[in-house]
Amino acid sequence: MLNWFTRNEIKRDLYSPDKTVKCQIALESGRITYSVYKNEKLVIKPSNLGFKICGEKSLTDNLIIIREQKKRHQETVEMPWGEDRYLNNNYIETAFYLAEKKEPGRIFTLRFRIFDDGVAFRYEIPPQPKFSQITIEDELTEFNVEPNTYAWSIPAYQPDRYEYNYTKNMVYDLKNSVHTPLTLKTPTEIYLSIHEAALYDYGSMTLKLNEKNILSSDITPLSDNTKAHVLLPFQTPWRLIMLSNSAIELTKNRIMYVLNDPPKEDFSWVKTLKFIGIWWAMYVGEWTWAPGEKHGATTDHAKEYIDAAVRLGISGLLIEGWNDGWEGDWLSNGINNKFLVSTPDFDLESVADYARIRNVEIVGHHETVGFIDNYERQLRDAYNYYAINNIHYIKTGYAGSKMLINGRREFHHSQLGVKHYQKTIELAAKKHICLNIHEPIKGTGIERTWPNLLTREGARGQEYEGGALSPSHACYLPYTRLLSGGMDYTSGIFDIENPVKRIATTLARQLAYFVTIYSGMQMAADRPYIYEKRFPSVFRFITEVPTNFQKTIPIAGEIGEYYIVARQDRDSENWYVGGVTDEFGRHINIHLDFLDNEIYEASIYSDSDEAHYRDNPFGILITKRRVTKNDSLDIYMAPGGGFAIRIKK
């Protein structure tokens, strides 16, 4: 539908295909606002839109609509890997072409897509006579929820980037900027999460209360105190509001991915991976990253771990600390990291050869410590070096509170940070290398376009165990951080009572993570001798659990309390069910109605009646039984515990 009439005042109700979601657009007195309804309940009250542009008038007032364009879109998207093979991309789109009716007469477009489970919109600024590039001083997008809406958040602009514990507040109590996805629950019991999709050339959107006390966009600034320098045509990332009737239903939301473009090249070479690592031994003080007596990444250790991977049925091995640069205080010395120079006791070529013959994938490692100038100087050669040595996976790291880019300290989630990560992804793709980015930019679904970005960290993972993680943390993640994509949580630590790093978990819960926390690269993070000597029968679950799923069915849960999910393997008819709970034990009943009409064998790894994350973490029961779709399973999760089930046809 095209309307060629110039309009000063309009009100438009934009409905989702099933009409349960409505977005109301109003143009009044030259300003444009949107509001959002779900099931006829007002979720986001009229909210302003627009920009402040450096050296120009704000792009907010004196607006008229010169054209509207509506389009229905319905498509099934196939993902090469992930939690679900098929995603719905089903929305009604309306684009509003706006112009200022006074000088300077600029034009821009607001494009809205209304889905049955959310609303997305973005700004598009075409080239125009007066300017071909602009500097964004501020984006003025509001998300005007009731102040007494609950919010589960982590703080932005802090030294540990995205690695914080979630807290629950009322929106009116959000004192500082918080990261997205920001998950909220309205007084009318609608759950929503505010996030963004397709972030490429802009600062990451954080959220804060503006001067009117309305939740609004706070784009991560650059060191020059602007938000972004952009060339026209320019489009912002999609502003995304996921909507649902319950917390568990929210975890099904996949709009973020379908807002991203399909890949532009062939990525059929990308394969998800399970791996062990020369890694946790450093965290518990057995080995070191730096060369010396206890150096972890030696040729001999690497070969031993390759043999262990083969015995354990795990396809990959991560090797940290193989390169020059870890001596002394590596966090401060990172500017000297060399990504083409091995320590004297490590022979990359010989390790890579040993792995290739045994069909083990090496996961290379680049710890940049945020020294981007140093890293980018070596990037091309460093990726080449891995590629010619048959290394197809790299874990990168950006420890440190800020990055050093063009000699200036910048936030990881600033426009320049975003562009650096993208550069690594695109270069890696050229070399057929997959990435696992630690201290990354948050996920905005770009792995749809760049499937070689197999996973990222971007939240507190098990490296924080030993005091800084409570059992509730992993019960927040599915409803918050994991709405932005998979996470390398470094699951599977079985040496729970290690005096250096005591883990707040039961043993069964460590298996649960392989199901509850999706990752395209999934690490079995403990040392192989712990698995082989102490818990071979428990480890079997990790060998078997896939890293690529056909279908995901969230079953039950509440934010920060518990989470239960079932996933079907992409390559077989088998199902995997996992659950985690907070500090409280729970009995749950899982109906197996997602199964086909066949007989299956369920292998159940669950907490014993006496298990407890504090005093009895090893209390585990491993049982087998025949099940059909008419059965339900009664499972007990101990305090700080969890369970994992493999259901085999």
Residues that bind Ca ion (CB under 5 A): 438, 457
Q: For strand 453-456 and strand 521-523, is the pairing parallel, antiparallel, or unpaired?
A: unpaired
DSSP per-residue string spanning 623-638: EEEEE-TT-EEEEEE-
Q: For strand 549-558 and strand 434-437, is the pairing parallel, antiparallel, or unpaired?
A: unpaired
- Residue 397 binding partner per list Ca ion, ligand NOJ, none, with a CB distance cut-off of 5 to 8 Å that depends on partner kind: ligand NOJ
| Closest CB 508 distance from ligand NOJ, rounded Å | 24
Closer Cβ to ligand NOJ, 161 or 227, answer by number: 161
Q: How far is CA 42 from CA 22, 186, 209, 229, in A?
A: 9, 9, 19, 35
Tally of residues, the chain: 649
The question of whether 463 is a catalytic residue gets the answer yes
> With contact defined as beta carbons under 8 Å apart, do 353 and 399 qualify?
no
| Closest CB 317 distance from Ca ion, rounded Å | 20
- Residue 232 binding partner per list Ca ion, ligand NOJ, none, with a CB distance cut-off of 5 to 8 Å that depends on partner kind: none
> With contact defined as beta carbons under 8 Å apart, do 363 and 318 qualify?
yes
Closer Cβ to ligand NOJ, 316 or 579, answer by number: 316
| Closest CB 421 distance from Ca ion, rounded Å | 15
**Encoded tokens for 548:** 């690529």
Q: Crossing angle for the helix pair 348-357 and 299-312, nearest 10 degrees?
A: 20
- Residue 367 binding partner per list Ca ion, ligand NOJ, none, with a CB distance cut-off of 5 to 8 Å that depends on partner kind: ligand NOJ
Consecutive H or E run containing 430:
helix 415-430
- Residue 295 binding partner per list ligand NOJ, Ca ion, none, with a CB distance cut-off of 5 to 8 Å that depends on partner kind: none
- Residue 560 binding partner per list ligand NOJ, Ca ion, none, with a CB distance cut-off of 5 to 8 Å that depends on partner kind: none
Distance in angstroms (rounded) separating the CA atoms of residues 84 and 76: 12
| Closest CB 491 distance from ligand NOJ, rounded Å | 13
Look at the block and give the residue holding tokens 């609509």: 65
Closer Cβ to ligand NOJ, 237 or 397, answer by number: 397
Closer Cβ to Ca ion, 160 or 373, answer by number: 160
For binding to ligand NOJ (CB under 6 A), which residues are involved? 320, 367, 397, 399, 438, 457, 463
Contacts 24+ apart (CB under 8 A), 258-262: 258/77, 258/87, 258/88, 258/89, 258/445, 258/448, 259/113, 259/120, 259/197, 259/198, 259/445, 260/197, 260/198, 260/444, 260/445, 260/446, 260/448, 260/449, 261/198, 261/448, 261/449, 262/77, 262/448, 262/449
Closer Cβ to ligand NOJ, 113 or 301, answer by number: 301
HEC states along 67-127?
EEEEEEEEEEEECCCCCCCEEEEEEEEEEEEEEECCCCCCEEEEEEEEECCEEEEEEEECC
Q: For strand 150-153 and strand 167-170, is the pairing parallel, antiparallel, or unpaired?
A: antiparallel
| Closest CB 488 distance from ligand NOJ, rounded Å | 8
SS3 label, residue 217: strand
**Encoded tokens for 16:** 């989702």
| Closest CB 59 distance from ligand NOJ, rounded Å | 39
Q: What is the CA radius of gyration of the chain?
A: 25
List the catalytic residue out of 68, 163, 463, 465: 463
| Closest CB 385 distance from ligand NOJ, rounded Å | 18
- Residue 137 binding partner per list Ca ion, ligand NOJ, none, with a CB distance cut-off of 5 to 8 Å that depends on partner kind: none
| Closest CB 162 distance from ligand NOJ, rounded Å | 11
Distance in angstroms (rounded) separating the CA atoms of residues 303 and 297: 10
Task: Identify any residues that bridge with 230 across adjacent strands, giving them in sequence order.
Answer: 134
SS3 label, residue 22: strand
Closer Cβ to Ca ion, 179 or 438, answer by number: 438
> With contact defined as beta carbons under 8 Å apart, do 321 and 297 qualify?
yes
Distance in angstroms (rounded) separating the CA atoms of residues 519 and 363: 15
Closer Cβ to Ca ion, 138 or 457, answer by number: 457
- Residue 227 binding partner per list Ca ion, ligand NOJ, none, with a CB distance cut-off of 5 to 8 Å that depends on partner kind: none
**Encoded tokens for 328:** 């002394």
> With contact defined as beta carbons under 8 Å apart, do 535 and 529 qualify?
no
| Closest CB 400 distance from ligand NOJ, rounded Å | 9
| Closest CB 184 distance from ligand NOJ, rounded Å | 28
Closer Cβ to ligand NOJ, 53 or 503, answer by number: 503
Look at the block and give the residue holding tokens 């006829």: 40
Q: Which of 445, 465, 527, 387 is nearest to 258 (CA)?
A: 445
Helix and strand numbers (H, E) in the chain are: 12, 37
SS3 label, residue 143: coil
**Encoded tokens for 68:** 């509207």
- Residue 387 binding partner per list ligand NOJ, Ca ion, none, with a CB distance cut-off of 5 to 8 Å that depends on partner kind: none
Q: Which of 90, 97, 121 is nearest to 5 (CA)?
A: 97
**Encoded tokens for 419:** 């562009």
Task: Identify any residues that bridge with 224 across adjacent strands, giving them in sequence order.
Answer: none
Widest pairwise Cα distance in the chain: 78
Chain mean position to CA 79: 16
Closer Cβ to ligand NOJ, 92 or 454, answer by number: 454
Closer Cβ to ligand NOJ, 203 or 400, answer by number: 400
The half-sphere exposure of 402 on its side-chain side, counting CA atoms within 13 A, is: 16
| Closest CB 279 distance from Ca ion, rounded Å | 12
Q: Which of 176, 171, 178 is nearest to 195 (CA)?
A: 178
- Residue 320 binding partner per list Ca ion, ligand NOJ, none, with a CB distance cut-off of 5 to 8 Å that depends on partner kind: ligand NOJ
Distance in angstroms (rounded) separating the CA atoms of residues 224 and 440: 22
Closer Cβ to ligand NOJ, 38 or 395, answer by number: 395
Active-site positions read: 463
